Amino acid sequence: MTKSAQTEVQLNEIRKSTQHINDVADNIRLSITQQTAFVEKTRLASDTLAELNADALENTRIHAVSSDDLFKLNAVLKQQLEKFVVSDASWHIKKRENSRAAKEESLSSQTGEAADDIELW
């Protein structure tokens, strides 16, 4: 092979290598662009979640009721109700074992179909 043919082969290999490097660089640029967009979307989603969390925490602080608040409410209600004559009724302040909904459910199951047959007008 002549020296000019060898040089041409080397130049072609250099061109191919340069083209391959350019293709890889383009892929890297595209990957960086996609990653940057993904990071921005993630940051926005994270900021939104942080705002929602802050709002939720703020709302829970507004509606928080402590046991002391309930005892104070009990005292005020008792004081207001004592204005009425209740014929020495005792106050039941113990925790209920069954909920009112459970009691109503058991009463409705005891009456059964009789309640369904009643027509008011």
Phi/psi at 89 (5° precision): -70, 140
> What per-residue confidence (pLDDT) applies to 110?
66
Q: What is the pTM of this model?
A: 0.41
106/24 Cα distance (integer angstroms): 75
> Cα 60–62–66 angle (5° rounding)?
80
Decide if 74 contacts 93 (C-beta within 8 A). yes
The parts of the chain modelled with pLDDT lower than 50 are none
Please tell me the predicted confidence (pLDDT) of residue 89.
Answer: 65
pLDDT tens-digit series, residues 103-112: 777 777 766 5
Q: Residue for token digits 């058991």?
A: 106
Tokens standing for 33? 């662009």
Q: Where are the domains of the chain?
A: 1-85
